Amino acid sequence: MIDIKLIRENKELVKENIKKKFQDHKLPLVDEVYELDIKYREAKQKADNLRSLRNSKSDEIGLLMREGKKEEASKIKEEVSKYGDEIKSLEEDENRLSEEIRKRMLQIPNIIADSVPIGKDSSENVEVATYGEKTKYSYEVPYHIDILEKLGGIDLDSARRVSGNGFYYLVGDIARLHSAILTYARDFMIDKGFTYVIPPFMIRGEVVNGVMSFEEMDAMMYKIEGEDLYLIGTSEHSMIGKFKDTIIAATELPYTLTSYSPCFRKEKGAHGIEERGIYRIHQFEKQEMIVVCEPKDSEKWFEKLYNYTVEFFRSMEIPVRALECCSGDLADLKYKSIDVEAWSPRQQKYFEVGSCSNLTDAQSRRLGIRIKNGNEKYYAHTLNNTVVAPPRMLIAFIENHLNLDGSINIPKVLRPYMGNKEKIEVK
């Protein structure tokens, strides 16, 4: 959520930002907020004036009573009693207008960085850099499910009978590889100085509204029937929620946290759920990075975070690239975002395996996360980034470490987590 001062002082800038995100249907919201805010401040000013007048009249009543002038005091009491009804009416107006303003403010996107490329959708994202030579084979690379089935590592048919499309059983060495990658990711981030956290896997609706837009929530979140609880789509949700309604001493910052969680997503939309694959699924596990920091430091942390993901994937000998998200591909709360994509030798293209986002103070304003620095209080900046999210990344892993006989090489960094195995053999 943006600072309402931007609308008061420069609403054309806010409108221009909406246009850059190709969300022209939201333009009327800016004028509506502007007009409602004028009414809100008028009501508040009137109520404040009446409260001040009531207080001064009350003091006057006290003085008259002490002087024995009861008749004069009674007349002023009658006058003051009328203020109460008017103040109550004005306070009701304040609350109603405040709610109307917030409802609209939650729909207005965060101001994007000047460096963000302007484009309508992900097809117009811009490559920042590539890391590592693309893996090349002299033989055809099979579909990832065919590779995993040959290794005895996946059972989709049973999962479909038990849960439907978008679920899976990982089995044997592939299940072990999945866990090994997550454990290595945890240790990798701890070695970077991050604190390891396992958060709640369900959060309340007010936290959901704090960390994402309604459109994202509707497309992603599963609600627990009969309760004000949602299954998290990523641990970022409960990790940022951890700081809700807190005032953090500046000396405690930055908070650098790495969290593990299962993730649950409806994956509602045009892309749909695959009949046979693990690229887009309802359930997966993830190691995440979270930073809560001073506003002046968020750009620096943004650079650090996505480079950690690049370093992590390169340590497993997987070629990747960094891709800056264009304006139309940015979620409403994001200031800027970079996707890390891994190379697929079978498809001869990169695909997303992680996303790094700087949300500036958009989440902090929604959730009330503030910093206290001396006598000054202001909103913190929040950032999040994927370390790794298997099983999707297993597609890149197996394709880039595939042997002609169908076995998979295990990079050196993962061998201690795999019983020092060098390969996963065909069953």
The domain ranges of the chain are: 4-105, 122-424
pTM recorded for the entire structure: 0.89
pLDDT at 303: 97
Q: Do the strands 255-264 and 195-197 form a parallel or antiparallel pair, or are they unpaired?
A: parallel
Q: Is the pLDDT of residue 258 over 90?
A: yes
* β-bridge pairing 376-379 and 408-409: unpaired
* Rounded Cα distance, 177 and 408, in Å: 11
Q: Is the dihedral of CA 266, 271, 275, 280 positive or negative?
A: negative
Helix (H) or strand (E) holding 306: helix 298-315
Reading the block at residue 166, the tokens are 């978008």
Question: Which of 160, 59, 166, 42 is closest to 93 using CA atoms?
Answer: 42
pLDDT for 293 equals 98
Residue 391 tokens read as 């099983």
Find tokens 């596990």 and name the residue.
285
Residue 29 pLDDT grade (very low, low, confident, very high; cuts 50, 70, 90): very high
Length of the chain: 427
Please give the average per-residue pLDDT across 359-367, as a whole number.
96
pLDDT of the residue at 35: 97
Find all residues with CB under 8 Å of 83, minimum gap 6, and list them: 50, 53, 54, 57
What whole-number distance in Å separates Cα of residue 93 and Cα of residue 426? Answer: 71
Mean pLDDT of 383-410: 96
Amino acid, res. 114: D
Band (pLDDT 50/70/90 cuts) for residue 275 is low
Q: Please list the helix, strand and coil fractions of the chain in percent, rounded to the nearest 5, in that order.
A: 50, 20, 30
Give dist(CA 129, CA 101) in Å, integer: 41
Least confident interval from 148-152, 274-278, 371-375: 274-278
Q: Which fold does the domain 4-105 belong to in CATH? A: Helix Hairpins (1.10.287)
**Around Cβ 149, how many Cβ atoms within 10 Å?**
17
Residue 95 — pLDDT band, cuts 50, 70, 90? very high
Write down the mean pLDDT value for the chain: 92
Decide which of 308 and 90 is more confident.
308
Structure tokens at 209: 């509204």
Residue labelled with tokens 């970079």: 338
Class for domain 122-424, per CATH? alpha beta
Give residue 112's pLDDT.
97
Is pLDDT at 82 greater than 90 in this prediction?
no
Query: Which pLDDT belongs to residue 60?
Result: 66
pLDDT per residue over 313-341, tens digit each? 999 999 999 999 999 999 999 999 999 99
**What integer pLDDT is reported at residue 171 of this predicted model?**
97
Q: Cβ distance 354 to 389 under 8 Å?
A: yes
Percentage of the chain exceeding pLDDT 90? 82
Q: What is the pLDDT of residue 310?
A: 98
Question: What's the pLDDT score for residue 49?
Answer: 86
Q: Are 216 and 334 in contact (CB under 8 A)?
A: no
Which range, 56-65, 213-222, 359-368, is most confident? 359-368
